[in-house]
Structure 1
Amino acid sequence: MKKLISVFFLIVIAIQADAQCAMCRATLENNLSNGNIGIAAGINTGIMYLFFAPYVAIAVIGYLWYRTSKKNEQKQLQDSTTLR
């Protein structure tokens, strides 16, 4: 439970990071020099979503796998105690 709370706080308190490829950076610098700030924020947010999505998918699969293995372990333990 402590690990879950720790992970929750790390996610909530995380500092915003702006990830950009070279082409995106050039486009954003051009837009910023023209005074268009909204596009820069949108591109950074989109890149972060694309970066974060695979990690969320792996975490969900890992959690489901863990939960299923715990249920199977409890079922096997229960079956072994009823056979005795």
Structure 2
Amino acid sequence: MKFRIAILLIVLLALPQTLDAQCAMCRAVVESEADGKTAEGINNGIVYLMAIPYILVAGLFYFIYKKMRN
């Protein structure tokens, strides 16, 4: 398991330009828009993608808490 993590870390550190490519593309799209609707849509998408895992984990912990109380 430690070997896989080490390999993944080496690959991610060796290819930083590839990792930044999407951020530059999104920034270019947002900066080219004049009305700001695209930026608002991207921000809403980020919040949506960020919130769903937290809600699922909170629901799981609540379910475990209820089962342990009974």
Looking at structure 2, the residues matched to 55 and 68 of structure 1 have their Cα atoms a distance apart, in angstroms, of 20
**Residue 23 (structure 2) pairs with residue 24 (structure 1):** no
| Shift in Å, 1:27 | 1.4
List runs of 5+ in structure 1 lacking aligned partners.
1-20, 72-84
**Corresponding residue for 2:44?**
45
Looking at structure 1, the residues matched to 47 and 28 of structure 2 have their Cα atoms a distance apart, in angstroms, of 17
Q: Match of 2:42, as an amino acid?
A: I
List runs of 5+ in structure 2 lacking aligned partners.
1-21
Higher relative contact order (CA 8 A, sep 6+): 1
Identity across the alignment (%): 38
Q: Who wins on radius of gyration, i.e. which is larger?
A: 1
**Residue 58 (structure 2) pairs with residue 59 (structure 1):** yes
| Shift in Å, 1:68 | 0.9
Q: Match of 1:41, as an amino acid?
A: E
* Structure 1 residue ranges (4+ consecutive) displaced by more than 3 angstroms after TM superposition: none
Greater helix share, structure number: 2
| Shift in Å, 1:38 | 1.2
